[in-house]
Amino acid sequence: MLFKFPKASDSKESDITPESLYISRRQLLGATAAGVALSGLPRWASADVAGQYAEVEPGRAPAWFADKLPSTRWQAVTVQGEAITPFKDATHYNNFYEFGTDKGDPAANAGALKTEPWSVVVDGEVEKPGRYALEDFMKPYQLEERIYRLRCVEAWSMVIPWIGFPISALLKQVEPTSKAKYIRFETLQDPKSMPGQRSGFALIDWPYVEGLRLDEAMNPLAIMAVGMYGRELPNQNGAPLRLVVPWKYGFKSVKSIVRISLVSEQPKTTWQSIAANEYGFYANVNPTVDHPRWTQARERRLPSGLFSPNVRETQMFNGYSDEVAALYSGMDLRKNY
């Protein structure tokens, strides 16, 4: 076993509650009893994790986040035997084209993003549409830490300890109608704070859009993240609310979300619109289907340097096959890349 998680195939969809994600009751109790250190960092953490979190730059958490953080279910899902990527790398090697296309641009420019106040629109095929202030939107959700691999289509990878809640919990709140077949996510469009949206070279037709099939969104691994490394999300990582779908290439995990729509047709997504032959709607991590311009069989695990490239084999579904392979049974993954 590479990580601790009940197999999705062990339970019917209706049986899957956030409770089923606990590693063990003992670990859960340990986590909540220890609580959160004054610095805002969890002090329950095992030695190696605490070592990583010690370097975390403290943020300025919004009140709703600070209130919820102490009851977080720490390490609800984790990765065994792979080090967490240092905070510095996870926050200074980013893709967030709204702030520029160089890996350092988001860290340099995303300070201008104003994440408070923030509102989220839920619309489309739902019984309960609405526009919510983020603090109200977040009220129903119990936060969980999810330590996941992140595999970019550009063949680098990290291990990131996210804090968030399952999309299935959101769907339970908004009640999709029988016509809802896909979920569509939209990033903020604000050229004033996002220099990439002002630049003349219009590679992307803003806003950035991503989507999932409804059954993919219901999978317990698919989460909406609001934090990482024991704190709120840094702006360059998609504050204040982003998607994280660990078995898919990173570009599916859309940042700084302002609109969530339930729709009947497969949404037109950003990278698919740019180059449909290179970036598909599914974008499942798959070492056997190469990108037209490079192999996907291997990846550079960050930190990676000239003399220690830290190359590893890419795993099918990024190592989450047991949990997600059933979603694609009968599908040709060469055609549906």
Contact indicator for 258, 121 with CB cutoff of 8 Å: yes
109, 187, 269, 286: residue in contact with ligand MTE (rule CB under 6 A) = 187
Residues 45-64 that bind ligand MTE (CB under 6 A): none
Among 74, 99, 185, 251, which residue interacts with Mo ion (rule: CB under 5 A)? 251
Residue nearer to Mo ion on the CB measure, 75 or 284: 284
Q: At a CB cut-off of 8 Å and minimum separation 6, what does 232 contact? A: 59, 60, 61, 62, 65, 226, 239, 240
Partner in contact with 150, chosen from ligand MTE, Mo ion, none, beta carbon below 5 to 8 Å by kind: ligand MTE
Among 62, 65, 98, 107, binds ligand MTE (CB under 6 A): 98
DSSP 39: T
SS3 at position 152: coil
- Identify the helix (H) or strand (E) that includes residue 120: strand 119-124
Contact call for residue 97 and ligand MTE (CB under 6 A): yes
Question: What is the nearest approach in angstroms of Mo ion to the Cβ of residue 175?
Answer: 32
Could you say which of ligand MTE, Mo ion, none residue 91 binds, taking C-beta under 5 to 8 angstroms by partner kind? none
- Phi and psi, residue 293, nearest 5°: -110, -5
**Per-residue tokens: 39:** 């610095």
Out of 40, 42, 230, 250, the only residue in the binding site for Mo ion (CB under 5 A) is: 250
Contact status: 95 vs ligand MTE (CB under 6 A): yes
> What CA–CA distances, in Å, run from 99 to 109, 110, 150?
6, 6, 20
- Residue of the chain from 56, 152, 158, 245 that contacts Mo ion (CB under 5 A): 152
Residue count of the chain: 337
Contact map string, positions 218 to 257, toward ligand MTE, x by CB under 6 A: -------------------xx-----------xx-xxxx-
